[in-house]
Amino acid sequence: MKIHRIDRYRVRLPLRIPFETSYGRLTEKAFDILLVTDELGNQGIGELVPFEQPDYIEETIATARIIIENHLIPLIKDADIHHPKEVSLLFNEVKGNQMAKSSLETAIWDLYAKRNGTSLKTYFNETRTKIPVGVSVGIQTDLAKLIDQINEYVVQGYQRIKLKIRPGYDLKPIDAIRNKFPDILLMVDANSAYTIKDISYLKQLDRYDLAMIEQPFAANDFLDHAQLQKEMQTDICLDENIRTLKDCELAFSLGSCRSINLKIPRVGGITEAMKIVDFCKERDLLVWLGGMFESGVGRALNLQFASQKVFKFPGDISASDRYYYEDILTDPIEIQKGKISVPNGFGIGVSLSQETLLKYGLYDTLFIK
């Protein structure tokens, strides 16, 4: 397989509901769609997912574009690729920058599956056709509005609610949700907003029967998380910390968490994600699939990957209408009875709406043979 050209759309899609986390507020999501074409004219699609601000992790969409154009494309433009697993090896000399790598690596997996006339999920183990899904709810200081919003998601069938929290917005909203929905599968995500000084405060969360607390401490901290996990009953889940399989090994051996939020782009692509899944399975570490407010392309990829039976905990993979007024797919992703169907076509299984892409995006060509 030879790469003959790479094109992209740089897109900004307005969000239906602004999304607020412990570190900021998002009203539009910027992302790039990369189209990788082989010597036979097959085309793989990948999404570049980082945010515009380096406030979730250090990568931004602008830094990722530079890495892609100046460092990653030169590594694949003359290569003869027999299997997409070779791409992560070719990219090895570029340190970090996982989301930049993932955008091309996942496009090449999609290309490979399309070339072979098969769905992407055929490369994964023990797959299902429908996936249980959850929804991540942004910070909403008006608690009546928060409860209304969650109620709407529960009515739509979402099987798990994840609430974003930060100091000053934690016990009260959690208490309000638990009072109204005593039995829902509920978890919280702090996006690194607390520190080791908050351990005794955070222990109060143990009384709310939370499925887990995601990333309470800094994105590169393993020791303080291990201390917290020792003192708390509630499972700790790591998100920002996990960039590689090595990070999972470290977290497991230190006891920093009992659960991993796996995002394919945050670990550099499908090949590393598969290794992490194998590791978690062997160690009985709960692994579930997270999200990055992806467009339909990234969520179609997430659905293919989350089709594996090991992802029994509902992922952050919501329907198109939870995020956007218009998605960039010809057929938006829909939820039915708390589940989303894995798209059926070749590769990631979806086709692009060129009209929507051009309405919200700019097209250019990065490389032509």
Task: Compute the least distance from the CB of residue 90 to ligand OSB, in Å.
Answer: 28
Q: Which does residue 56 touch among Mg ion, ligand OSB, none (CB within 5 to 8 A, set by kind)?
A: ligand OSB
The alpha carbon of 20 is separated from its chain's Cα centroid by a whole number of angstroms, namely: 17
Check binding of 20 to Mg ion (CB under 5 A): no
Check binding of 293 to ligand OSB (CB under 6 A): yes
Check binding of 316 to Mg ion (CB under 5 A): no
User: Considering only residues 316, 324, 343, 357, which one is a binding residue for ligand OSB as defined by CB under 6 A?
Assistant: 316
Q: Which is nearer to ligand OSB, 56 or 305 (CB)?
A: 56
The token pair at 352 is 């692009």
Catalytic residue among 130, 164, 230, 369: 164
Catalytic residue among 29, 263, 281, 339: 263
C-alpha distances out from residue 121 to 45, 51, 128, 132, Å: 15, 27, 9, 16
Q: Which does residue 316 touch among Mg ion, ligand OSB, none (CB within 5 to 8 A, set by kind)?
A: ligand OSB
Q: Which is nearer to Mg ion, 119 or 241 (CB)?
A: 241
Region of residue 109 (left: phi > 0; alpha: psi -120 to 50; beta: else)? alpha
Check binding of 239 to Mg ion (CB under 5 A): yes
Check binding of 269 to ligand OSB (CB under 6 A): no
Quick count: other Cβ atoms within 10 Å of Cβ 197?
Answer: 8
Q: How far apart are CA 228 and CA 195, in angstroms?
A: 10
246 carries an active-site annotation: no
Query: Sign of the C-alpha dihedral, residues 117, 121, 123, 128?
Result: negative
Q: Which does residue 136 touch among Mg ion, ligand OSB, none (CB within 5 to 8 A, set by kind)?
A: ligand OSB
Check binding of 56 to ligand OSB (CB under 6 A): yes
Quick count: other Cβ atoms within 10 Å of Cβ 172?
Answer: 13
Residues paired with 162 in a beta bridge:
136, 187
Positions 112 through 131 that interact with ligand OSB (CB under 6 A):
none
Q: Which does residue 293 touch among ligand OSB, Mg ion, none (CB within 5 to 8 A, set by kind)?
A: ligand OSB
Q: Which is nearer to ligand OSB, 102 or 191 (CB)?
A: 191
Check binding of 189 to Mg ion (CB under 5 A): yes
Q: Which is nearer to ligand OSB, 224 or 239 (CB)?
A: 239
User: Considering only residues 291, 296, 349, 361, which one is a binding residue for ligand OSB as defined by CB under 6 A?
Assistant: 291
Q: How far apart are CA 159 and CA 85, in angstroms?
A: 33
Check binding of 292 to ligand OSB (CB under 6 A): yes
Tell me which residue has tokens 């919501």: 318
Check binding of 315 to ligand OSB (CB under 6 A): no
Task: Compute the least distance from the CB of residue 83 to Mg ion, in Å.
Answer: 31
Task: Compute the least distance from the CB of residue 118 to ligand OSB, in Å.
Answer: 27
Q: Which is nearer to Mg ion, 114 or 162 (CB)?
A: 162
164 carries an active-site annotation: yes
Q: Tell the burial category of 92 from Cβ atoms under 10 Å away from its Cβ (0-12, 13-18, 19+).
A: exposed
Positions 124 through 163 that interact with ligand OSB (CB under 6 A):
136
Q: Which is nearer to ligand OSB, 34 or 193 (CB)?
A: 193
Number of residues located near ligand OSB, criterion CB under 6 A = 11
Q: Which does residue 112 touch among ligand OSB, Mg ion, none (CB within 5 to 8 A, set by kind)?
A: none
Contact set with ligand OSB (CB under 6 A): 56, 136, 189, 191, 239, 290-293, 316, 318
Contact set with Mg ion (CB under 5 A): 189, 214, 239
Q: Catalytic positions, please?
A: 164, 263
